[in-house]
């Protein structure tokens, strides 16, 4: 038996672990959650109306995707004003009401902090366009002269995550072609220059603005990307075809100064604020650098998200995530950037190594989708996920078992990836379709039905409606509620993970506290060995005899209380 024990952080005034260490956080893609005013777009009042459902699910916090003022070129990830709510979603008063109601329900509120880039409509960028080369205004961004005799080529060969060059040329005030500006993502999202003190000072103030309104923390978008290498050198991988990680564009040493600064801001509050990073780096050692005691509290362990449905690969990803973290990791199987879990697990599960530089591509599978198989595996996967030590993030709609929507009309697609690839890449719209609340025709209870939803819902969405699953004890929603309730009852954040050797390549098993979790990714039932001291079966995601774990399923079993000696973390091996 192999012990993997996360370091547990406790408040100096109490012996209890910090709230976030074992939290379950519900990710809200606001424009697709619920519509209160009939315009076909989700909003803050719609979220307030749905908070009781999130509380009933058993979640400890919500994470809101960006709801700041934005032209919506990338649905909020292009921010024009960091201190205001976009009118599409409501007002600051609505936001304050959301925070107050969430706190009454015992739900903490996390916001999305997008600080690698802003919007071309941000006041700073508009001022930079007017100010001219070499100005203070332009030094807040990455403006540079082009290459070539007339500056007609980009300053370097960096590529945008969304496809094409990472540079766009502007027209100067005199009407002539001028400098180029850097955008790691869409051309509507100019990268900020974090080597400029104006940028650091402004974001420090932005943090305090929201913390003073009761926000409990931030999820930091593209946390590894804020600082670029001095001189902006060319990327060899772009020219020789090797691809991979552009070391000059991401994960610069100076990025850690940002998080030490933000951590000091958050720690100054009576109830210290929480930071979790979207950090996509090529190794566990690089990830751990972001999790030092004076930087981020947690970072997402994306390695688990991108793995195929294979016991060995899942076990390796879990071990890597636990080893990389200074504290309990933040786990997730889905988010607003990747195909939905049911779809991914219902496709061919190729065991090729994934590219650690591109989460969106690494998480995708190909081929036809077996929805029944994908649903069965998705249920098993979340049962495994919720038995792990650390925080768990659940993307909205996963609790309903929603599949990816592939057949959106081309005219309805809005993702910049779709647009920049000229339709070669379907992008991320398929996991962002507005949620079905009821079976009612029109918009399935998403809003009043007065307006078409911002992305069209397929006719089959009603089969996944929340109202129908509410009263079905065998639904995916009922399973999620059971899992979250059992997680609270059975696990403490301090419980380490101990692997059990199953002797079967497609079955993994681990113990936490008084619970054994067995995951069977193979085609045949797994018989729990008689020598394992299992008691009653607590839950199973698929029917089977009490001592069997059905194919493509997960089961939890009760275990006798362990004595302190058997969980001694001073030794990595227990037999």
Tell me if residue 221 is catalytic.
yes
Dihedral-angle region of residue 195 (phi above 0 means left; psi in -120 to 50 means alpha; beta otherwise): alpha
Range 212-238 burial, b when 16+ CB lie within 10 A, else e: eebbbbbbbbbbbbbbbbeebeebebb
Catalytic one among 112, 186, 221, 495?
A: 221
Given the residues 278, 310, 399, 404, the one annotated as active site: 278
Cβ within 8 Å of residue 241, ≥6 positions away: none
According to DSSP, residue 268 is labeled: T
115 close to 225: Cβ distance less than 8 angstroms: no
Question: How far is it, in rounded angstroms, from Cα 259 to Cα 294?
Answer: 8
User: 435 vs 34, 225, 473, CA distance in Å?
Assistant: 7, 31, 20
Residue 391 per-residue DSSP state: E
Strand 274-277, strand 217-220: pairing: parallel
Distance (Å, whole) CA 75 – CA 427: 13
The DSSP-derived string for 425-482 is S-TTGGG-SPPP-SS-TTTTTSS-SSS--SSPPPGGGGGG-HHHHHT-TTSHHHHHHH
Query: What is the spatial distance between Cα 480 and Cα 392, in angstroms, rounded to a whole number?
Result: 12
CA distance linking residue 388 with residue 60, whole number of Å? 16
Tell me the C-alpha distance between 164 and 185, whole Å. Answer: 9
Provide the 3-class DSSP secondary structure of residue 548.
Answer: strand
The DSSP call for residue 381 is H
Give CA torsion, residues 385, 388, 393, 398, to 10 deg: 20
Q: Is 278 a catalytic site residue?
A: yes
Sign of CA dihedral 451, 457, 460, 466: negative
* φ, ψ at 185 (rounded to 5°): -120, -120
Q: Could you give the residue numbers annotated as active site?
A: 221, 278
């Amino acid at each position: 038996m192999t012990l993997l024990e996360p370091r547990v952080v406790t408040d100096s005034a109490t012996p209890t672990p910090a709230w976030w260490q074992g939290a379950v956080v519900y990710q809200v893609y606001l424009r697709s959650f619920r519509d209160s005013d009939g315009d076909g777009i989700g909003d803050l009042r719609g979220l307030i109306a749905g908070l009781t459902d999130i509380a009933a699910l058993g979640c400890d916090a919500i994470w809101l995707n960006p709801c700041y003022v934005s032209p919506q070129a990338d649905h909020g990830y292009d921010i024009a004003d960091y201190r205001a709510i976009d009118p599409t979603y409501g007002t600051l008063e609505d936001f304050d009401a959301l925070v107050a109601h969430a706190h009454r329900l015992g739900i903490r509120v996390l916001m999305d902090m997008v600080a690698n880039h802003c919007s071309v409509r941000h006041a700073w960028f508009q001022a930079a366009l007017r100010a001219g080369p070499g100005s203070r205004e332009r030094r807040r961004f990455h403006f540079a002269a082009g290459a070539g005799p007339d500056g007609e080529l980009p300053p370097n060969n960096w590529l945008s995550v969304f496809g094409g060059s990472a540079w766009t040329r502007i027209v100067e005030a005199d009407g002539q072609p001028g400098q180029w500006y850097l955008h790691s993502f869409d051309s509507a999202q100019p990268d900020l220059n974090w080597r400029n003190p104006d940028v650091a000072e402004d974001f420090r103030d932005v943090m305090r603005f929201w913390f003073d309104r009761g926000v409990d923390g931030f999820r930091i978008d593209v946390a590894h990307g804020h600082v670029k290498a001095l001189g902006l050198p060319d990327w060899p991988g772009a020219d020789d075809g090797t691809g991979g990680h552009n070391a000059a564009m991401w994960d610069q040493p100076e990025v850690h100064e940002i998080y030490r600064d933000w951590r000091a801001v958050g720690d100054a509050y009576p109830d210290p604020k929480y930071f979790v990073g979207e950090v996509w780096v090529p190794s566990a050692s690089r990830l751990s650098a972001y999790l030092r005691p004076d930087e981020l509290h947690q970072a997402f362990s994306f390695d688990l998200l991108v793995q195929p449905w294979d016991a060995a690969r899942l076990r390796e990803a879990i071990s890597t995530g636990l080893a990389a973290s200074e504290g309990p990791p933040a786990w997730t199987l889905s988010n607003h950037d990747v195909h939905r879990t049911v779809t991914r697990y219902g496709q061919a599960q190729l065991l090729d190594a994934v590219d650690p530089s591109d989460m969106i591509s690494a998480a995708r599978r190909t081929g036809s989708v077996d929805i029944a198989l994908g649903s069965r595996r998705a249920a098993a996967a979340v049962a495994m996920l919720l038995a792990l030590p650390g925080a768990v993030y659940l993307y909205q709609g996963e609790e309903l078992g929603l599949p990816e929507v592939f057949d959106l009309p081309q005219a309805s697609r809005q993702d910049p990836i779709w647009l920049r690839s000229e339709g070669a890449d379907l992008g991320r719209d398929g996991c962002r379709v507005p949620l079905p609340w009821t079976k009612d025709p029109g918009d399935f209870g998403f809003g009043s039905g007065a307006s078409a939803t911002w992305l069209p819902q397929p006719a089959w969405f009603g089969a996944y409606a929340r109202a129908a699953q509410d009263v079905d004890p065998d639904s995916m929603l009922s399973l999620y509620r059971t899992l979250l309730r059992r997680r609270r009852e059975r696990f403490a954040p301090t419980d380490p993970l101990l692997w059990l050797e199953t002797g079967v390549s497609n079955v993994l098993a681990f113990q936490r506290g008084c619970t054994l979790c067995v995951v069977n990714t193979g085609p045949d039932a797994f018989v729990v060995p008689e020598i394992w001291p299992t008691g009653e079966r607590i839950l199973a995601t698929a029917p089977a005899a009490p001592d069997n774990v059905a194919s493509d399923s997960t089961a939890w079993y009760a275990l006798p209380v362990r004595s302190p000696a058997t969980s001694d973390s001073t030794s990595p091996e227990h037999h």
